Amino acid sequence: MSHDSRSPNNLRPRSKALFEEAVGLMPGGVNSPVRAFASVGGTPVFMKRANGAYLWDEDGNRYIDYITSWGPAIVGHAHPEVLAAINEAAAGGLSFGTPTAGESILAHKIIKAMPAIEMLRLVSSGTEACMSALRVARAFTGRTKILKFEGCYHGHADMLLVKAGSGAATLGLSGSPGVPESTAQHTLTAHFNDVDQLREIFSANRRDIAAVIVEPIIGNAGFIRPLPGYYDVLKGLCEEHGTVLIFDEVMTGFRVAHGGYQSLCGIKPDMTVLGKVIGGGMPVGAYGGRRDIMSMVAPSGPVYQAGTLSGNPVAVASGIKTLEILSRPGAYDTLAARSERLVSGLKSAAEGFGIPFTVDFEGGMFGFFFAKDSVRNFEDAKRANLDNFKKFFQLMLDDGIYLAPSAFEAGFLSLAHSESDIDATLDAARRAFRVIAESPNTQAGR
């Protein structure tokens, strides 16, 4: 799409009509809040198909996709090898409700990539995996309290909808009606990257905290990485207090590196939660970790957790093939090189127009804030210039670049994103930054 003065309604009349129909049928017209354009304005774009690095909407407009289905489409949309694996599995039956060989193949691949996982259980979503991991950690420790970080999102289980990131942060919801106070009171929250507060929380709750759950790089409040040494302190406190350390690598697993962020930071979590990439676009989640902890899960142990479609053969076939493609030489170098080209190009373009802008990336995951200083936690993220983000998002969208419709989300690219896709994105960004720089009320972020 070329950038011009046409209104989005003229660019996307069918999306607008479909949205008007959908709002009467589904809350907000969507089946997951992050898909709505609540914080950026306008109507969501209804996509019709995807291939490689591109999405096409119902009006036939093409976009370079930086959401990649919120992470799973890391080898590119509709990858022929993944489609072939799925078709072959589907032809053999969609679901048996029995064990299958594929489940062990996927489990092997995950355990090989993340040795901290000695045993795992496959489930169907990241939410299910996080919720189940916490149940097991509580059973293992015989404790009730859990600690999470503001702006981290771990799915929508009751106990985790406290100061959550992602759509909850975008909509400004720090909790949710329907979550009983008696449940929320067991969830402690901390500012990410604040060592002193972490120590205070542990000393105020001596040997009471069952588990700490953290997105090792936060992706649900924008992209926020840990300060050097932060996880050494966290791991030390968990060991000292007998608390289970859970890395929620639903987003970062097989995305920032084959072995997830744990392979980069050298910290061995007691438990790990996965989702997104391990299903390659089909519904697969997993939780796993130390054998003594995972042995608590039924039928080995007494902690109940089950699922009709867990380890579904079609979804598992998609995950196996996706992980296989990612294990080929150079995959993560390619992802990192593309991310680097994108974020450094964005930064120098913004700086060229005098717009405060920070960027970061790891492997195939990146983020940016309209802010002068680097962002260390959700409080910092909220002080970035959200108005500039909103303008940037709309200008990029109308120029054929599909970014997450929220300042509090990371971006993702895939092996299918070529250098020329990145360069086209940077051309669009320069056009957008020019408009922002020339707009009368452009303010600096923090």
Ligand X SMILES: Cc1ncc(COP(=O)(O)O)c(C=O)c1O
- Applying CB under 6 A, which residues contact ligand X? 70, 125-127, 130, 153-155, 166, 215, 219-220, 248, 250-251, 275, 285
Question: Closest CB to ligand X among 127 and 339?
Answer: 127
Active site residue 109: no
Report the alpha-carbon distance of residue 121 to residue 18 in Å, rounded.
38
SS3 275: coil
SS3 279: helix
Name the minimum Å distance from CB 220 to ligand X: 5
Name the minimum Å distance from CB 415 to ligand X: 20
Question: Closest CB to ligand X among 120 and 251?
Answer: 251
User: Which residue in the list 276, 321, 382, 390 is annotated as catalytic?
Assistant: 276
Question: Closest CB to ligand X among 16 and 154?
Answer: 154
Report the alpha-carbon distance of residue 80 to residue 443 in Å, rounded.
46
Name the minimum Å distance from CB 350 to ligand X: 26
Question: Closest CB to ligand X among 150 and 215?
Answer: 215
Question: Closest CB to ligand X among 11 and 147?
Answer: 147
Active site residue 391: no
Joined together, the tokens standing for residue 73 give 């489409």
Name the minimum Å distance from CB 214 to ligand X: 9
* Residue recorded with tokens 């929620």: 248
Question: Closest CB to ligand X among 40 and 251?
Answer: 251
| Beta-strand runs (E) in 128-268 | 145-149, 187-190, 209-214, 244-248
Name the minimum Å distance from CB 129 to ligand X: 7
SS3 352: helix
Q: How far is CA 86 from CA 89, 307, 320, in A?
A: 5, 21, 10
- Residue 442 φ/ψ region, left for φ over 0, alpha for ψ in the -120 to 50 degree band, beta for the rest: beta
Of residues 446, 436, 443, 437, the one with CA closest to residue 381: 446
- Residues in CB range of 24: below 8 A, 6 or more apart: none
Joined together, the tokens standing for residue 246 give 């859970």
* Residue recorded with tokens 């974020």: 343
DSSP string, 75-137: T-BT-HHHHHHHHHHHHT-S--SS--HHHHHHHHHHHHH-TT-SEEEEESSHHHHHHHHHHHH
Active site residue 153: yes
Helix residue ranges, H only, 327-439: 331-352, 378-382, 386-398, 419-438
User: Which residue in the list 54, 63, 66, 153 is annotated as catalytic?
Assistant: 153
Question: Closest CB to ligand X among 11 and 120?
Answer: 120
Name the minimum Å distance from CB 189 to ligand X: 16
414: Cα separation from own chain's centroid: 14
Name the minimum Å distance from CB 203 to ligand X: 28
Residue of closest CB approach to ligand X: 126
Name the minimum Å distance from CB 35 to ligand X: 12
Report the alpha-carbon distance of residue 234 to residue 439 in Å, rounded.
44
Question: Closest CB to ligand X among 131 and 237?
Answer: 131
- Residues in CB range of 324: below 8 A, 6 or more apart: 109
Of residues 322, 277, 263, the one with CA closest to residue 116: 263
Catalytic residues: 153, 248, 276
